[in-house]
Amino acid sequence: MEHPFNDTYFMKKALQEAEAAFEKGEIPVGAVVVVNDRVIARAHNLTELLNDVTAHAEMQAITAASNFLGGKYLHNCTLYVTLEPCQMCAGALYWSQISKIVYGARDEKRGCGVMGTKLHPKTKIKGGILAEEASILMKRFFIEKRNMN
């Protein structure tokens, strides 16, 4: 029997967060931080609500996970995020020393891979988990946004 807690399982949790962002009119990016098969932080974009360009899902998740753990380093933690982290978030993830990043859809314009942003040498990265679902949600958001204007 397949282990119930796998990348797809946790990415679905991140997608639920992205849906919450979508419902609030935020760019639909969601994230969860997991340690020992337990979600310790959930977050989504809050840039509009907080009027803060740094309030990306990853940044919110890093803060929540650090508060939960009582320290600034996210050793043995995995971040699941629906969109490849941007340069800013990748920098914060570097400093958090997170062990693993798993993302859904690639960000062809602003993703850390395209920008050449370095991650911590010990951080593993894996992409493409539920990428289609994440992309569809993102496209739907921008189509609706365009049609409102």
* Binding-site annotation: residue ranges for Zn(2+): 56, 86, 89
* Helices (H), ranges, the chain: 7-23, 47-50, 57-69, 87-96, 112-115, 131-148
Residue 66 corresponds to which tokens in the numbers above? 């650090």
Q: Is there a catalytic annotation at residue 23? A: no
Q: What angle do CA 84, 87, 92 make, to 5 degrees?
A: 95
Which one from 17, 26, 58, 84 is the annotated catalytic residue? 58
Q: Do strands 100-105 and 38-44 pair parallel, antiparallel, or not at all (unpaired)?
A: unpaired
Question: Does residue 92 contact residue 71 with C-beta atoms inside 8 Å?
Answer: no
Q: Which residues contact 44 (CB under 8 A, 6 or more apart)?
A: 17, 18, 20, 21, 24, 26, 28, 29, 30, 31, 57, 60
The tally of CA atoms less than 13 A away on the side-chain side of residue 105 is: 20
Residues annotated catalytic, as ranges: 58
